[in-house]
Every structure is written in C-alpha cells, then in structure tokens.
Structure 1
C-alpha cells in the first residue's frame, strides 16, 4: 500500500497489533462505528526472520534473559504467534505495597477490582471460557483437593490457569479486522516521532516510516495508543522525550523497574496418597476449554512474611535427563532436539524450557524408547493428535506418575529494581536491556518451597524432595531461570508523574491524548503471565476512550447550544 492509498487523519491511532492492540482496535471500533481507527504494525506477512528492531537490541545478561527474537514477534498478532495460551489472573497481594517492594507498588486494589470487571469481555477475545480463576467458584465443577490429604490454608490448591485455543490473534482476528469498515490496518510501518504536545497537552500527529521504502509521512489522530509490547513501547517513549515537555522533565521511572519472573524446577513433590486421585494434568470443561490448578500462598501469609508472590504447579521431570526412564518422554525429547522438526513442534522459548538447550545422553534415551515400546510411540502419538490435529488443542503435555511423584515448577514475582532497566545507547536507536536476578528474589523462592514442604507434611499429604543441596539452591536458581517473555515495569502506572509514567487510565503524564497499553505499565509482576490481564486493560481502555469521546461530544453540543442562545438574544 502506498502512502497515498489511505487518509492521514484518524480519530484513534493504535501502534502495535499484538493481543492488546487487536482487542483495543476491535473493541473501540465496534463501540464507535462512526469513528475512524488505524492499527499500525511494523511486521508484514512473509517477512524475513531477522528485523532491524530485534537486531538493534543488546542484552547485558544473556544467561537470564532470552534473545529479542525469542521474546517478541513482528507481524499481525504480535507475540501471540508463539504464545503458549496460558491465561492467569493477578492477585490481591500484587496491589499491596510491601517492604520487600521498596515502595514500588504504585497501583492499588481499587484499580485491580475495577479492571477485573472487564475480564469477562477479555475472556471472549482469548476464547478461554468464563473468567473464573478459582476452581471452587465454577458452577457444576466439584471441588476435590489436588491430592489426598491436602488442606486449604496458607497454601491453596484451587487457583486456576486457563488456556486459550491457544489463540493466534493474527490468524484468528484478521478477517474481523478486515470486516470492520471503520478500521484500517497498515502493516510494514514503524512509529517514529511524535510532535511535542501543544499548550493544551494535545499531541497532534505522529511521523510514521514505511519499513520497506523508508518513506516518512505524518498521521494525525484524536488519540494515540502505544501498544507495541514492553520493549518497543519503552523504546518509542525513550526516543520521544519531547512528549514530556509540558511536565518540565522526563519521568524518572521511564525505562526503569524492569521485571519478569523467576521460573524453574528445584524439587519434586512426592504425595503419600492414591496416585490416581492426584490432579496432575488439565481439567477439560463442558465448553471444551482447559484449566489447570496451581499451588499458591495466601495474601495474609505473604504480607506477614514479606515474601514475593509465587505459584507452583506439578510438572514433568527434566526431559533431557534419561533417568526419568520414560520412553514417551525420551521420544518427545528426541523429537524436540531434531533439526527442523523441533522448530515446528514448539516456539524457541517453549522448546528451551523442555530441552534446556542440551543434546545429551542420546543412547540412554534410545534405550528408554526401546524398553518402553509400544507405549513409547503410542503415548506421543495420542498427544500429538490432541495437540496439533483438533481445533481446541491440548495446551501441553503432563504425564501420569504411578509413583505419585512430580517435578514442581515455580513461577515467582521479581522485586522492582531501578537497576533493571531499558535505556537508549548513544546512537539514540539501540535499546540496551540491563537485567539481573537478585539474592532477595532467589531467597523468597527457596523459603516458599520450604513453606510448601512443611505444609504438605503437616497435612500428611506429601513432601518435597530437593534436587540440590540447600547450599547449592541459590546458584541453581540463578543459573536456570530465564525470562524476557513477561516484561513489565518500564512505563508503570502511578498516581503522580514523579513515581510513574502513565496514570490509572493509561494516559501518558504530560499529554492529554497519548496512552500506553502494554504490560510495561504493570508496576509489579506478581506470579501471573501478563497477557490476559493486559487484555482486560485493553477492553477497559476502549471503554474509557468511548466515554471520553461521548463527553467531548456532549460538551460540544452544549457549547453550540449556548452559542445559539446568545445569538437569539
């Protein structure tokens, strides 16, 4: 499409077509059929694997942070192209300032409770069933404990993660976008430079550059929304500090307090009861959707002990270690490390979580496969069918343990730290990501494992079996955790510009019509993957902008009526 094929003036301009951008575009354009919306996307179909945005990012800690190409995707649908589909709700504790957060919880429970009211609408876009994230609250589902003997208390077992199809937002919503008459999709365009806000804080236009030709032109809009993912949303703002001219200075929080999650396995959980009564895998509901339960810790307990929010769930042993003696697991591991085939079976980050980048002890894996025949082949075949050959796909693979012993996967909140940050290099273009895992992040993970171990023993339900000596745990956690997939904190919400970048309506401080809709606005990372909750924020922002436009329209009518009365006099 040439630059002359479309108008340059829109009511709403959305930058980025990931889940947040698509939800915003569809929701707003449906609510406002007479408003014009443009959705800008950097990527195009059939694009090369490498792109100039990813290649202009440097990461100082590659041990704990994935490469840019593994964290994000360019093109319609954004990172949902390689998303696992896990939909998780944030928790009350994430909105409570605690000493361990060093005053960096800059949102509150009132906002949380409001955003949750938009979760049902978000769930429809994600196609993950009802927005119920507590097993005991779902009508028609009988609550049973995760294993025999478990009791609810400071440790809970009824919190759920839900799964989308998984929804590939680009493929799923491409036709919906085309069918929406007031919505224009522009692919292959990069948002470059905003004009400075005028004396009324209004930003009038954005300079856009066509990626293929490098031709630049201006788009004007009533409102602009930056929904380009945490990395690119942050980079756009770092490159456009003139947006803060009316503030007098750039918010000190911009680019800082970057967080992800600590994730990995350091122990197994051995249950004492009947292994057939252990709820180790997915629950399939009447509507065909899948959920899975997780261990979590109560708000009061986390507050009292000043610990970081953490979820843990039952998992498979390490695939790459043939000591699991499972022919099915060895077969799947061999498939994942096979060139070409492995890349088709799972995205790079998910594949890494299975193989850990290791090609090891192949003869032992072959031995497991031979000893386990025919189940070594039949079990993977059945899983392959459910995972790749049906519409509502099996979200993952969890194998039954007749010994009632399962690996325990942890997924933990990270402390907001100003030293974890994104900043521009001297060329004004390269984005440098400084990321590290602190001793306090790690010690909270270890302490909560001990809490779970004691709780299971006190219930007479089970116990943890650690994979490392206690003095080896900190180093083990630091070496295994790797994120960059769940990016938050760098444009955080706050009531004041001296502690944040956007207000509670996601409006950029110092402007009257620029918004950020990215997980970068989340001041705390909690235990949850951010995608679903960001979707709820997107629905809320579409509703808010609709209300604002109606108020503006009403004010215009009242002003016009007043003018008529004056003329009549």
Structure 2
C-alpha cells in the first residue's frame, strides 16, 4: 500500500479509532479514510508489549494484562462499565498541583455527544444520574439514606460488553470510503512543513515491509502507551516549537482501587440495593457513593467513587459457598483464564491459593445452593447476549464490602519514557501520599455521615495506623491510563490543544486517554468515546 493518499488516516483500531473513523466517514461521504491497526486478535504475544518495562509491578499490571492489540483494542477484554467524568474533573483544586489543564468548557461542549456515544457502547439511554430517572429517582441505596454532600444517584451503565472489533467490523467494511489496514505499525511521520502540516506516515508490516501513507489529516488513537511511544520516537513533529513539550510522557495517571472497609446498614436488608438495577430496556445499572464537587473542592480531596461489593473471595470467612466455588474455579488455570481477563482474575484470587479445605467446607455447608446459585450466575454472565456484568450476593446481615475507585494526582515523576537505545518503553509509576490519604479521609467522611443520618456505619478491616500501607500495597492499575499527552491551552502545559491537535502541527491529532489531564473516579473508555465523536465533528469542518 505505497504512496496511497487519503483525507484522514487514523492510527489505532481501538474504540477511539473505530468511532473516529466511522463518524468522520459518515459525515464526509466524499472523503477517503484509512484505519491502521497493528495487532492481530489471535496473537498471544507481540513485539510492542514485549518491549514495555514496568518499574513498579506492585501497583501496575504487566502490559499483557493492561491492553490488547488487534481491531477493537482493549474492548476485547473490557468489562463494559460506562461511567461519565464529572464537572469537578475539569476544575482546578490545589491537590492537583495546577494539573487540571482542561476546563469546564470542554465538559459542557462534550455533553451533546453523550447520546451517540451511548449508542456505540450499547449502554442504553444517556443518563448517568438517577435523580433524573422517573423509575429510580425516589429510591435509595439503603433505608434512611439521604442525599447531601454524599450522593447515591451517580450511575454506572453497562454495555453487552461491546467488543468493538467484532461489533463494528462490518460497519467499517460497509462504508465504501473506509480502508482497513491490519498488521501495520506506524513508525514515523514526515517532518512538518512551514505551515505545520504532516504529510506522511511511514509503516512497517509483520514481514518488515515498509510503506507510506499520505493523508490530509492524521489521528493517533493507539492507546496511551503506544500513542506516547509514537510521539516520543517522533519528536521532529514538534520542530516548529523548537522544543518538545515538557509534558510529553509525564503526568501518567491511573486509579487507586481496593477495599479497606465494610458498611453495615442499619435498615431493612431487603431494601438495600446491593446489586444491579435494570431499566426498561434491560440495561444493567449500578449506584455508587460519590462526593459532590463543592465538597471535594472545599476539603481539597480527590474524586472517588465507592460502591457495595462482596468480601474478598479468597477469604473463606465470608462463609458463602457460591463465593468459595467461584474462587476455586478461578484457580483452575485453563478455566480461570477463559472466564475473566488476567487483571479481573487476580482481583478474585489475589494471586493466592490458600485455605482450600475451608472453601470446600463452605461449598458443602451451602449445598445445593452453592451449586445452583453459581450455575445461574454462569448462565447469565456467559451465555446470554447482554451479560450479567458482575456478581453481587445478598447479605441478610446488611453488611457489604466497600470498593473504592479513586482519582490520582497528576505527578510529573510518573512517566513513560524511552530507553537509551529507543527500543523499550519504560513506565515509572508510583502512588503519592496525597492519593492514599484522600482515600482514607473520604472513607472517614462516609462513616461519619452514615452514622449522622442513622443509615449505618463503616467497619474497617485493618487498624487505622495500617490503612495507608494496606492501600499502597493493594492498589494495582494500569488498565485506565491517562495524562502523558495531556490537553492544555498552550504548549507550556500540555501536548495537545483543546481540539486534540498536537502543538506545533496543524493536521495531527491525538484521540487517546493520554490526553486526559485528570483521571476522575471513572475509567477512561466511555468519555474517550465522547471525545472521539467530538473530534470527528471538529476535523470535518476544519
């Protein structure tokens, strides 16, 4: 495919690349689009992930647990949780150390693209707050709960889960103005002209055959790791700036995640919404505790969601036969790897094989319900088209574990950088004290508020003096990557502008979680879809 000329070249076939290509092609039926994807969905190992070095394996998953190559990208193992970013994510707070380099105008502008994004993700109506729901607005997460600075109405919606490669391959192929190139890696760009135009991208395929694509516009949409690597290897795209932006490869963020406490509600356990809701379309929904923007700004804390969860599967003291059976199943290598992605499997097993006899005793004591309940869950989770997103079990004592999912501060010391020989992408990633302390303070606030309104209380799993270290050891991410090519108003603070155009160029754009300067309480996937549609619209009129 030598010297082919296109109107738009999209590099990366994950959800961002697929949405950008389809939307642009539909808006511009007379324009030609090429979508370049490096990976092969059948491939077990690849040269890109093999050349990523994680410096902190306690808090960051290995490359093969974080991303997927091939059409559809990481949605090949995506759980399907669709969550919107919040207004506070676009507001400066001193805890962010001037790291909020986008603003609320982007958030407000993005709202009009949420309905179409919801269609792509197949997660139902574009509603992410139950206070606007006719069916659920008057219901609460537990008896006696009252919304105030802590709310229970913020919502996660769930897709099928939608595997973008399988779901949208035909849509891509049916659009006559889209060409798909699979098995090609983008390796370099031509230098920008005096007008800031990039004219070519140079490719290499699996047989090391080189080719060139010429295009009017380019979008890099190959995930945070590979987007960052591509720009680090092509610093000449910043030639007009006379300097590579300081932010490139810096401010890498993920999330803190784990469990340090249980909640014991004081009301009727049958009135507690411990699991999934389903709307009139049959879409799975779930409530979560969140904190208002005003409260987070006043207390200078990080955006965090906390939801009801099961106790640790690996701990037989939960006394649940079904949980013990599921834990033992996940320990079977050939079966566990089929039922869940590596990162999810590890969250269940905690990498431990222990107390097998106690788990077997739980199964026997609950027989036959330990078998029938697990079978019912298996059918709904794996055999139906719209799959049960997760497993949450009723507790007659009204006691549930709390799972936190917390924002991380933008820290310039958290980086992606190239090795001296330029062959490896090295990831330096750690948690800051402020990240961990914010999690603890927000749990304390939830406990204080629940007691005040006579709704319940928290019961910590560890002594207070041990919480900091426990959180530091349990938080492991790398799944929700952001920050390394962040949006900003100018080249001093970021890598791309508010329309995702790379500083120093006039036709090169980035559509990746790497452009998010803050990490929110949400995963990056859904809001990245929003920005992809926004970008497709922008480059259609530019």
TM bracket, shorter-chain basis = over 0.9
Q: CA deviation at 1:322?
A: 0.3
TM-score by length of 1: 0.94
Name the SS for the 2:427 alignment partner.
strand
Q: CA deviation at 1:27?
A: 0.9
Which position in structure 1 is the counterpart of 2:113?
Answer: 118
Question: Residue 367 of structure 1 is aligned with which of 361, 375, 381?
Answer: 361
**Counterpart Cα distance in 2 of 1:530 and 1:143:** 30
CA deviation vs aligned residue, 1:325-379 (integer Å, no higher than 9, x gap): 0000000001111111001110101111111111111111000001100100000
TM-score by length of 2: 0.99
**Counterpart Cα distance in 2 of 1:423 and 1:532:** 27
**Counterpart Cα distance in 1 of 2:284 and 2:539:** 33
Q: Map 1:440-455 onto structure 2 (within 5 A).
A: 440-455=434-449
Name the SS for the 1:270 alignment partner.
strand
CA deviation vs aligned residue, 1:181-219 (integer Å, no higher than 9, x gap): 110111100000101100111000010111x21011110
Question: Residue 309 of structure 2 is aligned with which of 305, 311, 315?
Answer: 315
Q: CA deviation at 1:74?
A: 0.4
CA RMSD of aligned residues (A): 0.8
Are residue 436 (structure 1) and residue 430 (structure 2) matched?
A: yes
Question: Residue 35 of structure 1 is aligned with which of 6, 31, 38?
Answer: 31
**Counterpart Cα distance in 2 of 1:519 and 1:469:** 36
Name the SS for the 2:58 alignment partner.
coil
**Counterpart Cα distance in 1 of 2:137 and 2:434:** 39
Which position in structure 2 is the counterpart of 1:478?
Answer: 472
Between 1:346-355 and 1:462-471, the stretch displaced more is 346-355
Q: Map 1:506-517 onto structure 2 (within 5 A).
A: 506-517=500-511
Which position in structure 2 is the counterpart of 1:520?
Answer: 514
Which position in structure 1 is the counterpart of 2:150?
Answer: 155
Which position in structure 1 is the counterpart of 2:209?
Answer: 215
Q: Please, which runs of 5 or more residues in structure 1 have no aligned partner? A: 549-569
Which position in structure 2 is the counterpart of 1:26?
Answer: 22
> Are 1:239 and 1:429, in contact at CA under 8 Å, matched by a contact in 2?
no
Q: Please, which runs of 5 or more residues in structure 2 have no aligned partner? A: none
Q: CA deviation at 1:141?
A: 3.5
> Are 2:41 and 2:69, in contact at CA under 8 Å, matched by a contact in 1?
no
Larger radius of gyration: 1
**Counterpart Cα distance in 2 of 1:140 and 1:478:** 40
**Counterpart Cα distance in 1 of 2:427 and 2:42:** 28
Q: Map 1:301-312 onto structure 2 (within 5 A).
A: 301-312=295-306
> Are 1:195 and 1:206, in contact at CA under 8 Å, matched by a contact in 2?
yes
Question: Residue 240 of structure 2 is aligned with which of 227, 243, 246?
Answer: 246
Which position in structure 2 is the counterpart of 1:139?
Answer: 134
Name the SS for the 2:333 alignment partner.
coil
CA deviation vs aligned residue, 1:288-333 (integer Å, no higher than 9, x gap): 1111000000111111110011000000000000000000000000
Are residue 341 (structure 1) and residue 341 (structure 2) matched?
A: no
Name the SS for the 1:118 alignment partner.
helix
